[in-house]
Each structure stands twice: as structure tokens, then as C-alpha cells.
């Protein structure tokens, strides 16, 4: 692996440490290299805090002192997985900060698609006489921030479908019976995923039959916003989905109000373009990603509308011989892995990549 790729890979490894805390910002990692040695590194702080480049610069100043750090920056290359920002948001522009410290070179993984950046950060650096290299591990850098890119370009959250099915393709028993398909390790993995996404969605039937909390209680991390599709408001107020562990947003056809951590949003023409309307409303709320954990009908609704990006399907070892069939997905599995005695299959919607 070339040196630039090695350091950019380190940026990516750092960036993922911000999963579940930086949204709606992207996950970014930065590494400062002086004469072949990493002297500082950082990743984006929780939303509203310093960006990766700032944290990397601060690490050098803390380790070497401001005077020595100034000399080191002039002889150093900073690697960053996403183009440095060029505008004032929650924090000042990172591009200006890099110019101020006079870095010898800046190496960037991929451009930022946000309209107020999108090349402007690079121009600021180049106009200051700093050489810039763009496109190192570009595909991997773009994939890391697929949620951010989707929100900017498609004006909707990145949609991840998740379900479990038996070895013979059944999703659940008929008649409302509850029956586990996957093992404990798979269940804990799902809670990890919940902590990494902004929101999680189910429909009325799942909320009534399974009475889920939809929290990340089996993993260290923040609980996602809970999204409930409940057209006629059938789910009772004492349901677990309404507990105080997280915010709950209810899309319905009856009322709009906001009481504490529970928000009801009435949709006109409820059944017309329902998935698209829900996703656009969530986009307006700065929700960058959503995990769909609903029943087969809810999952199929998003599949048929074409507004899904990724699917994670657990296949358990049991065969039932009868039951409710799993959702139908017209995509080939990209890869699979074992989670104990379960098989986890990953799918991507190539039409939306």
C-alpha cells in the first residue's frame, strides 16, 4: 500500500469513531504526518463540536507546544477523508484554519457535495499556495459517508432495511405469534446498528404485536429517534415505543401535536407516496439515516417505492415450512458473513448508489 493510501486508511479508521454522534455532519478523520511519522490525528466531535482537522491540529499543539507545532506544520502533510469545509457553520471554516497554519500539503479523500463547500475548500487552499491532492481512496471515503451524501443529493435520509428470516424464507408466524429467528449475538448487533443511525421505523402491527422499545439498550450509544407509522393511532399511549427513553415521531392521518418527547405529524392523502413523504419530513428534521425494522408489509412498502439504499438480512438456521413470507428484494447479495449460527446477508440498491 502506498504511503498516501496508508494514511488515508487511518483517516477512515478514525472517522468511524464518530458514528452515531456527528449527524447531520459527515464522519471525517484527519492525520498529520511529518517526515513519515504521524504527529497528530483526530476525528469529528459530536455535532456542534470541532471538526477532525481542528482536533488533529490541537493534538499536535498539545504534544509539542505552539511554537514547535508551527514549525512542524510548515513541513507536514495533513490527510483528511473529506474536503475541508469552507463556510461558517457551527464552527469556523477548516480550510481557513489549514491556511493559517501553513501546511506543506493537503491530501483529501473526496469532495464534499454540500453546496457551500463542493470545491470551495480546495480553492481556498490552492489560492494560498498549498498543494492539494484529491482522490486518495476516494470510493472508500464516499462509501463511509453514504448517509451524508444521500441526504445532500436525494434530500432524504439514507434508508437501511433490516429483517430476519428462516432458512426457508419465512418472516414471521401467521396469527400474530411471536417467535425468535436469530441468536443473541445477532440481536446485540442490531442494537449496535441502532446506535449508529439517527432513526428507526416500524409500523402499527409491529408496535402492537411486538411492543418494542426500539432502543440501543444492549449497546453503548445513543438511542435513535423512534418513527411509528400509525394511520389511525391504534397504538395505545402505554406502549413501550412511547416510553421516555427516546423521542417518538408518529406519522398518522388524524392530528398534529407535540407533547414532550412525542410528536404527531398528520399527513394529508396519507396513502399517497407514503414512504417518500415520510422521508422528506424526516429530511427536514435533519434526520440523515433511518433503520427500517418494521413488519414485512412496511418493509415491502419502501422496497416497492424504490427508496431504500441498503438491506441487512439475517437468515436463521431453522425451517418452519409455513408462515408469512419475507419481503421480496430484487437485488443480489453483495456479501455475507456468519454471526454465530446465523448468516447475515448485505444488499445494496445499485439504482441509488
Task: Tell whether 141 is in a known binding site.
Answer: no
Cell of 163: 429483517
Residue with cell 418472516: 171
Cell of 180: 425468535
Task: Tell whether 11 is in a known binding site.
Answer: no
Task: Tell whether 293 is in a known binding site.
Answer: yes
Task: Tell whether 208 is in a known binding site.
Answer: no
127 noted as active-site residue: no
Which residues neighbour 48 within 8 Å (Cβ) at sequence distance 6 or greater?
A: 90
As a whole number of angstroms, the distance between CA 73 and CA 130 comes to 12
Cell of 145: 459517508
Task: Tell whether 210 is in a known binding site.
Answer: yes
| Residues constituting the chain | 353
Task: Tell whether 110 is in a known binding site.
Answer: no
Task: Tell whether 91 is in a known binding site.
Answer: no
Which residues neighbour 262 within 8 Å (Cβ) at sequence distance 6 or greater?
A: 242, 247, 248, 250
As a whole number of angstroms, the distance between CA 91 and CA 243 comes to 34
As a whole number of angstroms, the distance between CA 48 and CA 155 comes to 21
DSSP states along 182-223? S-HHHHHHHHHHHHHSSEEEEEHHHHHHT------TTSSSPP
User: Which residue, 5, 106, 1, 6, is CA-closest to 52?
Assistant: 106
Catalytic residue (choose from 5, 41, 53, 268): 53
DSSP bridge partners of 106: 78, 132
Element (H, E) at 126: helix 120-127
Element (H, E) at 8: helix 3-15
Residue with cell 470541532: 50
Known binding positions for NADP(+) = 164, 180, 210
User: Hey, which residues are catalytic here?
Assistant: 53
Please report, in range form, the residues annotated as the binding site: 51, 85, 94, 164, 180, 194, 206, 210, 214, 217, 293
Residues at the binding site for Zn(2+) are: 51, 85, 94
Amino acid at each position: 500500500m502506498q504511503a498516501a493510501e496508508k494514511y488515508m486508511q487511518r483517516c477512515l479508521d478514525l472517522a468511524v469513531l464518530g458514528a452515531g454522534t456527528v449527524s447531520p455532519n459527515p464522519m471525517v478523520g484527519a492525520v498529520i504526518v511529518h517526515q513519515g511519522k504521524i504527529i497528530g490525528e483526530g476525528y469529528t466531535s459530536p455535532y456542534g463540536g470541532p471538526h477532525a482537522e481542528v482536533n488533529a491540529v490541537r493534538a499536535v499543539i498539545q504534544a509539542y507546544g505552539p511554537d514547535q507545532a508551527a514549525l512542524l506544520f510548515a513541513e507536514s502533510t495533513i490527510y483528511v477523508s473529506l474536503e475541508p469545509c469552507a463556510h461558517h457553520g457551527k464552527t469556523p471554516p477548516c480550510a481557513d484554519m489549514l491556511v493559517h497554519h501553513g501546511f506543506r500539503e493537503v491530501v483529501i479523500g473526496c469532495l464534499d457535495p454540500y453546496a457551500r463547500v463542493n470545491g470551495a475548500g480546495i480553492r481556498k487552499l490552492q489560492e494560498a499556495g498549498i498543494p492539494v491532492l484529491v482522490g486518495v481512496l476516494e470510493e472508500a471515503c464516499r462509501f463511509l459517508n453514504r448517509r451524508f451524501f444521500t441526504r445532500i443529493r436525494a434530500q432524504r435520509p439514507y434508508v437501511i432495511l433490516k429483517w430476519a428470516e428462516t432458512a426457508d424464507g419465512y418472516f414471521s408466524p401467521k396469527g400474530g405469534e411471536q417467535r425468535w429467528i436469530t441468536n443473541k449475538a445477532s440481536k446485540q448487533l442490531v442494537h449496535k446498528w441502532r446506535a449508529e443511525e439517527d432513526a428507526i421505523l416500524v409500523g402499527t402491527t409491529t408496535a402492537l404485536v411486538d411492543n418494542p422499545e426500539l432502543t440501543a439498550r444492549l449497546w453503548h450509544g445513543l438511542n435513535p429517534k423512534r418513527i411509528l407509522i400509525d394511520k389511525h393511532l391504534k397504538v395505545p399511549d402505554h406502549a413501550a415505543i412511547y416510553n421516555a427513553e427516546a423521542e417518538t415521531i408518529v406519522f398518522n392521518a388524524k392530528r398534529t401535536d407535540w407533547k414532550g418527547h412525542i410528536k404527531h405529524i398528520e399527513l394529508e392523502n396519507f396513502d399517497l407516496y407514503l414512504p417518500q413523504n415520510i422521508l422528506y419530513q424526516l429530511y427536514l428534521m435533519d434526520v440523515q439515516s433511518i433503520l427500517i425494522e418494521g413488519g414485512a408489509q412496511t418493509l415491502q412498502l419502501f422496497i416497492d417505492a424504490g427508496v431504500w439504499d441498503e438491506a441487512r438480512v439475517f437468515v436463521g438456521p431453522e425451517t418452519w415450512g409455513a408462515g408469512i413470507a419475507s419481503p421480496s428484494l430484487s437485488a443480489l447479495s453483495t456479501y455475507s458473513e456468519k454471526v454465530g449460527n446465523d448468516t447475515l446477508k448485505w444488499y445494496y440498491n445499485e439504482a441509488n448508489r
